[in-house]
Amino acid sequence: MDHNQLRDDIQNFRLDNCPLGNQGYNRVLLQLFGYVGQGRSALINSLKYVLSKGKYIMHAESGCAITLERKAYELTPTITVVDNRGLAHMNNFEMRTVYAQLGNFMPLNEKVEWRYGYEDFVYKLEDADLDPNYTDFIVPVFVHTVQCVLIENEKGKTRDIFRNCRNLTGVFPIVVLTSKTHGNYFEVEKKFRCLGAERIVAVENYFEDDQLQTLGRNTDFLMLLKSALDDVTFRMEYPRNPREERIERKKFLLKYAHDTDVAKREEKLKEKEQQTAKNNICNIQ
Ligand SMILES: Nc1nc2c(ncn2[C@@H]2O[C@H](COP(=O)(O)OP(=O)(O)OP(=O)(O)O)[C@@H](O)[C@H]2O)c(=O)[nH]1
Ligand SMILES: [Mg+2]
């Protein structure tokens, strides 16, 4: 498809024009997530740049500043992109906060804290009910740099993350590989395909000192947005109920938080029993 046509289609996409109307949704929310320092903020700046036809502006701080606050950036009248806090350790406590961000249960423009206590986490979910959001159609986007190879231990966890994301949002995460020209992206793409990724888009982000637009580079960013909108159109062909979907997301989060907590308690109990057994052996000797 012609580049200008593609950009116009993205700019003009409206949920009202879906086969069954908007069904109660009023915007498409691209939720960027992944590990720290993978190029999420740079991706937002590139998307804004490619769609604006104007000068390059650094909207989201990229580079030295680590994103700690959840922030939303409007791309078109229908599409908004959210810069979520990145994962540092990939443990279940961080993961449940990542899922809470993806499920739209964490407020925008506030620092995202990892909630290690079960009650603390559940109270935060309850707080979100003060001003519940039913109207965002969530599309998860996992951002990963080509320069960072997934190690064996991370592969299984990433597969689980993809599956949980799909269960939470109903959409399989789109994988965006950044730094396309700084590594072997075919190799990295193959690894993500093996983890079940359905759609993978590789891009080279634009920066203040690297802002010469080319057709191919721009088209990669537009293809990412088209891919997200294709997913939305596909799901909007079926009858949906945004309120019920939000309740289902909350149930998912409560169960995940509970299971994580139980597993942690069992682990602690086992450690304590092992220590007691060790002490008893020492006392006998
Ligand atoms: N060459 C190149 N560098 C990139 C690209 N994307 C991001 N970077 C660099 O990678 C680093 C991290 O980019 P950010 O945009 O800050 O990444 P982030 O995921 O927002 O990071 P946190 O907010 O810290 O978790 C920066 O030094 C960027 O310049 C890319 O496509 N190409
Ligand atoms: Mg960032």
Tens of pLDDT, residues 108-136: 888 888 877 889 889 989 998 888 889 99
> Mutation test of ligand 1: which of 41, 56, 204, 224 has the most ligand atoms closer than 8 Å to its C-beta?
41
Closest among 6, 4, 46, 94 to 206, alpha carbons compared: 46
Token pair 């999420």: residue: 40
The b/e string for 240-256 (b: 16+ C-beta within 10 A; e otherwise) is: bebeebbeebbebbeeb
| Confidence (pLDDT) at 89 | 79
Is the CB of 173 inside a 6 Å radius of any atom of ligand 1?
no
| Confidence (pLDDT) at 2 | 87
Per the document, the length of the chain is: 285
* Shortest-distance Cα residue to atom 5 of ligand 1: 179
> Does residue 185 carry a pLDDT above 80?
yes
How close is the Cα of 235 to the center of ligand 1, in Å? 31
How close is the Cα of 233 to the center of ligand 2, in Å? 29
* Shortest-distance Cα residue to atom 3 of ligand 1: 179
Q: Using the atom order of ligand 1, give the atom closest to the CA of residue 62.
A: 16
Helix or strand run (H / E) with residue 139:
strand 136-145
Q: How far is C-alpha 261 from the chain's CA centre? A: 23
Closest among 140, 155, 128, 136 to 250, alpha carbons compared: 128
> Mutation test of ligand 1: which of 205, 209, 211, 214 has the most ligand atoms closer than 8 Å to its C-beta?
205
Q: Which residues pair with 202 in a beta bridge?
A: 177
Q: How far apart are CA 33 and CA 48, in angstroms?
A: 18
Cα-Cα-Cα-Cα torsion 263, 266, 272, 276, nearest 10 degrees, comes to -150
> Does residue 139 carry a pLDDT above 90?
yes
Residue 137: pLDDT band with limits 50, 70, 90 = very high
Q: How many other CB atoms are there within 10 angstroms of residue 98's CB atom? A: 25
Q: What is the mean pLDDT of residues 227-238?
A: 96
Q: What is the mean pLDDT of residues 231-243?
A: 96
Is the CB of 39 inside a 6 Å radius of any atom of ligand 1?
yes
pLDDT digits (tens, 9 = 90+) for 248-258: 999 999 999 99
Q: How far apart are CA 169 and CA 163, in angstroms?
A: 10
How close is the Cα of 36 to the center of ligand 2, in Å? 7
Residue 267: pLDDT band with limits 50, 70, 90 = confident
Q: How far apart are CA 159 and CA 196, in angstroms?
A: 7
| Confidence (pLDDT) at 224 | 98
Number of domains the chain is built from: 1
pLDDT digits (tens, 9 = 90+) for 18-76: 999 999 999 999 999 999 999 999 999 999 999 998 899 999 998 877 888 899 999 99
Contact 40, 67 (CB under 8 A): yes
**Ligand closest to the CA atom of residue 88:** 1
| Confidence (pLDDT) at 142 | 97
Is the CB of 40 inside a 6 Å radius of any atom of ligand 1?
yes
* Shortest-distance Cα residue to atom 7 of ligand 1: 39
Is the CB of 247 inside a 6 Å radius of any atom of ligand 1?
no
CATH number of the domain that residue 73 is part of: 3.40.50.300
Q: What is the mean pLDDT of residues 3-21?
A: 95
State the residue range of the domain holding 174.
3-284
| Confidence (pLDDT) at 148 | 85
Q: What is the mean pLDDT of residues 164-177?
A: 95
Closest among 182, 221, 246, 206 to 81, alpha carbons compared: 221
Residue 149: pLDDT band with limits 50, 70, 90 = confident
First to last CA, the chain: 79
Closest among 143, 188, 131, 151 to 38, alpha carbons compared: 143
* Shortest-distance Cα residue to atom 14 of ligand 1: 39
Is the CB of 182 inside a 6 Å radius of any atom of ligand 1?
yes
Whole-number Cα distances in Å, 21 to 14, 60, 232, 238, 285: 9, 33, 12, 11, 77
Above pLDDT 70, what percent of the chain? 100
Cα-Cα-Cα-Cα torsion 256, 236, 203, 40, nearest 10 degrees, comes to -40
**Ligand closest to the CA atom of residue 220:** 1
Q: Identify residue 204 by its one-letter amino acid code.
A: E
* Shortest-distance Cα residue to atom 13 of ligand 1: 39
